[in-house]
Structure 1
Amino acid sequence: MRLLPAYLWPRFLKRRIPTSLWGRSLLIIVLPVLVMQVVVTWIFFDAHWQTVTARLSEGLAGDIAWAVESYEDDPSPRNLERLASRAERSMSLSIALQEGRTLPTETRRGPIGVVDRVLDRALDARLDRPYWFDTTRYPAYVDIQVQEPQGVLRIIAPRERAVATQAHIFVLWLAVATILLMGVAILFIRNQVRAIERLADAAEAFGRGETVPRFKPHGAREVRAAATAFLAMRDRIQRHIDQRTALLASVSHDLRTPLTRLRLELALAPPFKRQAAMRGDLDEMEHMIDEYLDFARGEAGEPPKPVSIPDLLKTAGEDAKRAGAEVELAAPEGLTASLRPLAFKRALVNLAGNAASHGERVRLSARALASGGLEIAVEDDGPGIPEDMYEEAFRPFSRLDESRNQNRKGVGLGLAIARDVARGHGGDVTLDRSDMGGLKAIIRLPGQASIVAPSSETGGQGASSVRTGHGDENDA
């Protein structure tokens, strides 16, 4: 396996660091604790445990060397019996002579090997004769055998004489303390992160035009300060929206009054040559006023509720049919979503009317996304618009090529209203080229839209693609 170059390591690590505040805060606590535990364990293991084990092994090797030398001075059974009794009483060593035997040929070593290496070095330094030992056969003892002319001198020693057997208790206590520390840290971090998550949820809900009535600042001082600033900002934005809506409503009302008088005078006046043209101008002025007011208010105060997506598409399709277009609908039966009905209906009607005004065929389709979101598309077979002008089409009052729109109703707010409604639901509207030859507008709403689709239709029957009509002129 090839190692990454040094300059790529920061990028490699950055991709694997948690992205959430909860994950990063936990990493800040857990990583130093784990590093500390590893360092302390290593220092203890290297500087204490191995040193103590080496001293114990050297002491045991010295006792065994004394026993071997004492036996070799007088290899009689009587001396062996006296030596074994003294070693048992004074050094807890069990000594026996296996006459005519030789050392085993197999080597038995423990899984870690530290004890074996330390004991081997100690015996090698103290004994001149061949030896063999086993630290694995008996859990509480060490089996050491030394080759003598008469046979094998076998010595069984307690394991604690060769190794520090209580080291695991230190590691265990260290692990328990670490777990307790991390548990307390996780509890406190979770409480602080929950306050930030609630603030984020409240901000997201406000962006969708919803309110969180029980939201109040809590958590750490800085989090409470941020929440208080958010509440003040929300109130200022809401006042601005209310003032704008009231202003547009007032202007709309003031303009409708003279328009109504003009309509009445035209209705009562005798027929004349320009009468029909004047009625058309009045209709266009009234339509423009309606668009201004729709764009200003956006139905932000309307509460969300479950809405049938096929019914919405059918309503928008009927509007496109009245404009003279041939309409095709494709949506799974039973597909529903939690939406603000009037606002979302306005967005679809704008897109469908826009497509019908620039094409002869209009297709409206919807499908539930695997992520739990919703996708709705409106497509047409019109001329479309260049790709580099897609974003320009969403600008309020943008009519793109004025020479192609001078005889059309509207002021260029159709796509702007549709995008404003979609973003108010947490989603967005994008434009693309339709396979029908014209333009397609795609409304995508995230999982927060609470998509509920029956299992029989989640396979995407009839609604696998979503494309919309002519964003060419966004003046629905």
Structure 2
Amino acid sequence: MRLLPPALWGRFIKRRLPTSLWGRSLLIIVLPVLLMQVAVTWAFFDAHWQTVTARLSDGLAGDIAWAAASYGDNPTPQNMAVIAERAERSMQLSIAFQEGDVLPRDQRRGLLGVVDRTLDSALAARLDQPYWFDTTRYPAYIDVQVQTPTGVMRVIAPRERAVATQAHIFVIWLTLATILLMSVAILFIRNQVRAIERLADAAQAFGRGESPRFKPHGAREVRSAALAFIDMRQRIQRYIEQRTALLASVSHDLRTPLTRLRLELALAEPTKRTAAMQRDLDEMEHMIDEYLAFARGEAGEAAEAVDVPGLLRGLAADVVRRGAEAEVVAPQDLELTARPMALKRALANLADNAAAHGTRVRLSARRLASGDVEIAVEDDGPGIPEPLREEAFRPFSRLDESRNQNRKGVGLGLAIARDVARGHGGEILLDDSDLGGLRAALRIPG
């Protein structure tokens, strides 16, 4: 069998290691403790238990050899009675002679075989006669039988005469101590990891436009990172507030002259020139709305339950007013927790793009197996080539060649939609539609 190169072994092991901080910290604590317990247990059995068991087995084998030799010197019932009485009183051995019997042929051995091998070695070194023993039939005793010319001498010995029976107590105490220490370590690690998880949750919530209450916890380094995050959040919030105030002022300043121009055009005589100027004003107002929407966003809006089918039906009506066919495919009971105005603006941009470049538009929604809600807008237009799809999300990108020249707007529709999706913790994916055009799927955690 060919061995993998060290680099492949490294990648193989790395793929199977835990990826979370909790899993890796647990592995750092648990693995050394388990290895230490195995090493200590192995050393104990190798250096202590087997040595004691070998000495006990050797002592038992010596007592049995004495009994067999004493009976061989005077093979009479009277001598056997004396040997049995002495063995019972001094050696805790129960000896009985079975005249005319032979040794059993079947061999019964324990699962591990350590006791059997040790006792067999001791009996072989001490006895010249054939023998047989069984360490499994009686839990507290060992049965040893020795063949003599006239029969079988059977010896029943307490198990502690041949085996160090208290070794398991050491293993139990070692295991209990290990479990206790590991439990304390796991609880400590869990508390430290939970502090980092809270910091990550707070960062994700802030990225979605929420402002959860967050208090630093955990070790000094984690608290330092949490305090740095709080300072950063406050600076960003101040920047957002300042930008919002500036945009509100700019919006007011720009809309005032636009309103005066619109009023003057309304009072002027209708001509082709005034109609063209009216269209220019409409386009300018639309451009200003897109600029402000992209720069301002909807971060200050509170999240609430949104009726997805109702929202899609409203968008479908807008698509029909623009001259395209529209269909809605969505479960009637589908709801989504989101910022309603921001979500509507993102989907309206997608629907407007679809209606501008196609004659059929499909608005669909479903709940994925992951729990996310996917809202898709499809059209039968020219679509967007795959190499240009990421570029389509760039602000002010028009993709003239791929979308028959974006005649209206400034190329912020997809950028605003992606900003809204990511502000909800989701994403927008572009793909080919079975209608023949583009499929824009907005996925938001449900």
For the aligned residue pairs, the C-alpha RMSD in angstroms reads: 1.6
Q: What is aligned with 2:34?
A: 34
2:102 is aligned to: 102
Counting only pairs closer than 5 Å after superposition, residues 48-67 of structure 1 correspond to structure 2 as: 48-67=48-67
**CA contact 2:383–2:403 (8 Å) conserved in 1:** no
**CA distance 1:167–1:266, change in 2 (3 Å):** same
Q: Assess, with a 3 A threshold, how the Cα gap between structure 1 residues 404 and 373 changes in structure 2: closer, same or farther.
A: closer
Give the superposition deviation at 1:146.
Answer: 0.4
Shift of 1:270: 3.0
Q: Secondary structure at the match of 2:369?
A: coil
- Map Cα deviations across residues 312-360 of structure 1 (whole Å, 9 max, x no partner): 1111111111111100110011001111100001111110011000101
- Contact kept in structure 2, 1:245 and 1:293, CA below 8 Å: no
Question: Match of 1:160?
Answer: 160
Q: Secondary structure at the match of 1:173?
A: helix
Structure 1 residues without counterparts, runs of 5 or longer: 450-476
Write the mapping of 1:83-98 to structure 2, written as runs, cut at 5 A.
Answer: 83-98=83-98
What is the alpha-carbon distance in structure 1 between the residues aligned to residue 270 and residue 304 of structure 2?
Answer: 50
Corresponding position of 2:423: 424
How has the CA–CA distance of structure 1 residues 334 and 171 changed in structure 2, closer, same or farther, with 3 Å as cutoff?
same
Compared CA separation, residues 150 and 33, structure 1 to 2 (3 A): same
The Cα of 1:186 is off from its aligned counterpart by: 1.5
Shift of residue 114 of structure 1? 0.3
Between 309-318 and 246-255, the greater mean CA deviation after superposition: 246-255
> In 2, distance between residues paired with 1:404 and 1:218?
52
Whole-angstrom CA distance in 2 between matches of 1:56 and 1:4: 48
CA contact (8 A) 1:399 1:405 kept: no
Contact map agreement 2:382 2:402 (CA 8 A) in 1: no
TM value normalised by structure 1: 0.91
> Aligned residue for 1:464?
none
Identity among equivalent positions (%) equals 76
Preserved contact between residue 110 and residue 116 of structure 1 (Cα < 8 Å): yes
**Does the CA-based 8 Å contact 2:192-2:218 persist in structure 1?**
yes
**Structure 2 CA distance for aligned equivalents of residues 175 and 3 of structure 1:** 36
What is the deviation of 1:206?
0.6
Q: Note closer, same or farther for the CA distance 1:49–1:152 as it changes in structure 2 (3 Å cut).
A: same
Pair 406,102 (structure 1): closer, same or farther in 2 beyond 3 Å = closer
CA–CA distance in structure 2, aligned partners of residues 275 and 71 of structure 1: 136
Q: Aligned pair in 2 of structure 1 residues 72, 359: CA closer, same or farther (>3 Å)?
A: same
Distance 2:269 2:431 in 1: 50
Alignment pair present for 1:279 and 2:273: no
CA distance in 1, matches of 2:239, 2:438: 35
Residues 373 and 445 in structure 1, CA contact (< 8 A), matched pair in contact too: yes
Aligned length: 446
Amino acid at match of 2:380: D
Per-residue CA deviation, residues 441-473 of structure 1 (Å, 9 max, x unaligned), is 011123xx3xxxxxxxxxxxxxxxxxxxxxxxx
Do structure 1's residue 148 and structure 2's residue 148 form an aligned pair? yes
Q: Which residue of structure 1 aligns with residue 177 of structure 2?
A: 177
Q: Aligned partners of 1:406 and 1:182: how far apart in 2?
A: 66
TM-score with structure 2 length normalisation? Answer: 0.97
Shift of 1:194: 1.2
Instruction: Report how far residue 6 of structure 1 moved.
Output: 4.6
Letter paired with 1:226: A
Per-residue CA distance 1:291-314 (angstroms, 9 max, x = gap): 111111211011111111101111
**d(CA) in 2 for partners of 1:422, 1:31:** 42
Deviations 1:183-219 (A, max 9, x none): 1111111111111111111111111111112x11111
Structure 1: which amino acid aligns with 2:426?
G
Moved over 6 A (4+): 402-407
- Deviates most, 242-251 or 44-53: 242-251
Q: Determine the structure 2 residue equivalent to 1:73.
A: 73
Contact 2:303 2:337 in 1 (8 A): yes
Q: Is the 8 A contact 2:22 2:193 kept in 1?
A: yes
Q: Which fold has the larger relative contact order, with Cα–Cα distance below 8 Å and residues 6 or more apart in sequence?
A: 1
CA distance in 2, matches of 1:19, 1:63: 61
Deviation per CA, 1:108-156: give whole Å up to 9, x if none: 1111110000000110011111000000111111110000011001111
